[in-house]
Amino acid sequence: MIMNERAAPTPCASLERIERRYTRRDGAVTALDAVDLEIARGEMLALMGPSGSGKSTLLHVLGLLDTPTAGRYRLDGEDVSRLDDDSRSTRRNEKIGFVFQAFHLVPHLTLQENASLPLVYRGVHEDERRDRAATALRKVGLDHRLTHLPDEVSGGEQQRAAIARALIHEPPLLLADEPTGNLDETSAESILDLVRSIHQGGTTVVLVTHNPHVAAMAERTQEIRDGRLL
């Protein structure tokens, strides 16, 4: 009998032999091929690789925006590889914040309304939504932009609003797909500072980037080529 054995802490996310194949008119593409990856709670991981190597596909699988065609994905210890659409949406809403390169804000909603969207899906009352969105926008330095529409603010401000939206329900895992790819250098720097402080606050972060300086900010860098981790 083994005494004093301490159970290893449950990883935030764990992928085992994950495969994602697409069928296209010109044949099948294996975007992810036997990917094994463990992401510890609270860590910050940078994902790097050439265009078409599978970075976004991997992030979409981690974010429950896409389903692997084979393999096992455990999120917070729960096997989420074969959940139906409803359960997948629920888990995504509870556990994941997602930030895209192209911001993906709803153009006819104010920044405050955009930031509050995840709370609509959770059935939070309107007054509370407004308050929490204002708080989230204040945290990312946008308290003077609550009633602006996305096209009335800069790219950096749009990305800040997208980050506020991603974090409004305080998910444990933040996934960011080239979040500074559409920004000038100064705005990119300040978005990276923001991501760094979110990570320091305890959130697990996975960041896709082409930029080695950005990757250097993470604790660990994972390279991907042709759908395989190196």
* Contact footprint for ligand ATP (CB under 6 A): 22, 24, 29, 31, 49, 51-57
Bridge partner list, 47 = 208, 222
Nearest residue (CB) to ligand ATP, 27 versus 107? 27
Nearest residue (CB) to ligand ATP, 72 versus 228? 228
Nearest residue (CB) to ligand ATP, 68 versus 118? 68
Nearest residue (CB) to ligand ATP, 51 versus 186? 51
Size of the site for Mg ion (CB under 5 A): 1
Taking the alpha carbons of 89, 92, 97, 98 in that order, is the dihedral positive or negative? negative
Amino acid, res. 152: E
Q: What is the C-alpha separation between 158 and 49, in angstroms, rounded?
A: 26
Residue 22, binding choice from ligand ATP, Mg ion, none, Cβ under 5 to 8 Å by partner class: ligand ATP
Residue 54, binding choice from ligand ATP, Mg ion, none, Cβ under 5 to 8 Å by partner class: ligand ATP
Minimum CB separation of residue 126 from ligand ATP in Å reads 36
Contact 42, 202 (CB under 8 A): yes
Residue 212, binding choice from ligand ATP, Mg ion, none, Cβ under 5 to 8 Å by partner class: none
Contact characters 56-95, Mg ion, x per CB under 5 A: x---------------------------------------
Q: Which of 59, 83, 71, 88 is nearest to 15 (CA)?
A: 71
Tokens 């860590």 belong to 43
- Count of beta carbons in the 10 Å neighbourhood of residue 117: 16
* CB within 8 Å of 196: residues ≥ 6 apart: 217
Binding site residues, Mg ion, CB under 5 A? 56
